[in-house]
Amino acid sequence: MADGKDFQYPAFYQLPPFFTLQPHASVRAKQLELWKQLISEYCSFHRLFIINLREEPLFRNAQLARQLPSEARKVLAEHLVQQQAALWADEAAKERLLVLWRSVAGWADLILQWAAENGLMGSVETVQSLMDGEAAEGQEFYGAPRELIMAALQELVRRNRATLFRGSSGSEGVKFLSA
Amino acid sequence: MRRKPGIAGLIREKEQQSAYGAVGEQLEADKDQQARQHLETLQSSLKSFASKHRNRINSDPQFRKSFCDMCIAAGVDPLSSSKGLWDELLGVGQFYSDLSVQVLTQCMRTRDENGGLLDLRQCLANVRRARPGEKLALEDLERAVECLAQLGPGVSIRFCGRQRLLCSVPDELSGDTAQVIELAAASGGKVCAADLLRKGWTTDRADQALLHCIREGLCWVDKQDEAVPLWCWFPSIALAELEKPMSESTA
Comparing CA positions, the residue from A106, A88, A105 lying closest to residue A97 is A88
How does DSSP classify residue A101? S
Alpha helices in B53-91 (DSSP H): 54-59, 61-73, 85-90
What average pLDDT does this structure show over B224-244?
A: 89
Q: Is residue B90 within 8 Å of residue B64, measured between CB atoms?
A: no
CA atoms of B142 and B156, how far apart (whole Å): 9
Per-residue confidence (pLDDT) for residue B115, from 0 to 100: 85
CB pair distance less than 8 Å for A12 and B235: yes
B163 strand-pairing partners: B160
pLDDT band for position B60 (cuts 50, 70, 90) = confident
Q: What is the number of other CB atoms lying within 10 angstroms of the CB of residue B171?
A: 8
pLDDT recorded at residue A151 = 93
- Asked if pLDDT for residue B89 goes beyond 50, the answer is no
Q: SS3 for B85?
A: helix
pLDDT higher than threshold 70 for residue B23? no
Domain extents for chain B?
95-250
Q: Can you tell me whether residue B1 is helix, strand or coil?
A: coil
**pLDDT tier, B250 (very low <50, low <70, confident <90, very high otherwise):** very low
Neighbours of A47 (CB within 10 A): 13
Q: B174 by DSSP, 3-state: which?
A: coil
Residue to substitute from B223, B226, B228, B232, interface A, most A β-carbons within 10 A: B223
Q: Is the pLDDT of residue B96 over 70?
A: yes
Q: How far apart are CA A151 and CA A102, in angstroms?
A: 12
For residue B246, pLDDT over 60 is answered with: no
Q: Which of B220, B224, B239 sits opposite A22 (nearest CB)?
A: B220
Check B113 against A19: CB less than 8 A apart.
no
Q: What is the mean pLDDT of chain A?
A: 92
For residue A27, the one-letter residue type is V
pLDDT greater at residue B247 or residue A112: A112
Task: Band the pLDDT of B56: cuts 50, 70, 90.
Answer: confident
- Worst-scoring range by mean pLDDT, A28-42, A49-63, B93-107? B93-107
Which of A9, A18, A20, A26 is the best mutation test for B, with the most CBs of B within 10 A? Answer: A20
B83 touches chain A (CB under 8 A): no
Which of A11, A65, A67 faces B242 most closely, judged by CB atoms?
Answer: A11
**Distance (Å) of CA B228 to CA A66, A140, B108, B221:** 14, 47, 32, 11
Residue type, A52: N
What is A136-155 written as a DSSP string? GTTSTTTT--HHHHHHHHHH
SS3 (DSSP) at B118 = strand
Q: Measure the CA–CA gap between A171 and A130, rounded to whole angstroms.
A: 13
Give whole-number Cα distances, B225 to A15, A19, B221, in Å.
12, 11, 11
pLDDT at A35 over 80: yes
Residue A3 has what pLDDT? 53
Mean pLDDT for B104-117 is 85
Q: What angle do CA A119, A122, A127 make, to 5 degrees?
A: 85
Average pLDDT of the segment spanning A100-116:
95
Mean pLDDT for B85-98 is: 62
With a cut of 90, say whether residue B79 has pLDDT above it.
no
CB distance B163 to B119 below 8 Å: yes
Is B129 touching A (CB cutoff 8 A)?
no
Rg of chain A's alpha carbons, rounded to an integer?
Answer: 19
Partners of B222 on chain A (C-beta within 8 Å) are 16-17, 19-20, 66
Give CA B66 to chain center in angstroms. 18
How far is B93 from A148, CA to CA, in rounded Å?
55
Mean pLDDT of all residues in B50-72: 77
Q: If pLDDT is split at 50, 70 and 90, which confidence band does B108 have?
A: confident
- The CATH class of the B95-250 domain is mainly alpha
How many contacts, defined by CB atoms under 8 Å, are there between A and B? 56
Reply yes or no on whether the pLDDT at A178 is more than 50. yes
Q: Enumerate the residues of chain B whose CB falls inside 8 A of the CB of residue A60.
A: none
pTM, to two decimals: 0.71
What is the predicted pLDDT for the residue at B81? 41
End-to-end alpha carbon distance in chain B = 61
From the centroid of its chain, how far is CA B78?
A: 15
For residue B192, give the 3-state DSSP assignment.
Answer: strand
- pLDDT cut 70: percent of chain B above it: 71
Instruction: List CB contacts (< 8 A) between B113 and chain A.
Output: 12, 27, 30, 34
> How much of chain A exceeds pLDDT 70, in percent?
98
Per the CB < 8 A criterion, the answer to whether A95 and A148 are in contact is no
pLDDT of residue B145: 85
A27-34 mean pLDDT:
94
Task: Mention every residue, 6+ apart, whose C-beta is less than 8 A from residue A48.
Answer: A42, A99
Residues facing A52 on adjacent strands? A96
Mean pLDDT, residues B222-242: 92
Calpha distance B199→B32 (Å, rounded): 54
Contacts of B231 in chain A (CB under 8 A): 16-17
**pLDDT greater at residue B163 or residue A18:** A18
> Chain A interface residues facing chain B, Cβ-Cβ under 8 Å?
11-12, 14-20, 22-27, 29-31, 34, 65-67
